[in-house]
Amino acid sequence: MTDHDVLARLNDDYIRSVQQGDVARFREILAEDFLCSNPDGRLLDKAAFLEQTARLVTISGLTTEDVLIRILGEVAIIHARTRYRTAEGEARQGRYTDVWARRDGRWLAVSAHVTR
């Protein structure tokens, strides 16, 4: 399996974990020094991101489009568009940029930036 294939699977896992509130999977794929810039401007560390993930998921139908995976040696950047529905059923979209780093032979998410 190529690095691109691994990162594509990890990206799918990340999005699935957001939709399902899967804290356990995020514990596995996020680096200890992970940081996430939320659409509201808050910067969350791993612990705060896991706490946010554990809350009731209010969106549905989260999908990705235009996924672009760029591998730059031991770092990879993933850009993509999302589509989802709010709790009220309103269709919305956003974008994200995730940064992954190869550490001890494993790809781990080190940064995320989400816009809506």
Note the pLDDT tens digit of each residue in 81-90: 999 999 999 9
Q: What ranges do the domains of the chain cover?
A: 3-115
pLDDT at 47: 98
Instruction: Say how far apart CA 7 and CA 26 lie, in whole Å.
Output: 14
Kindly state the tokens that stand for 21: 């509130």
Banded model confidence at residue 56, pLDDT cuts 50, 70, 90: confident
Task: Flag whether the pTM goes above 0.75.
Answer: yes
Kindly state the tokens that stand for 34: 């992970």
What is the assigned CATH class of domain 3-115?
Answer: alpha beta
Strand pairing class (30-37; 60-72): unpaired
Q: Are residues 54 and 48 in contact, defined by beta-carbon separation less than 8 angstroms?
A: no
Q: Please count the residues of the chain.
A: 116
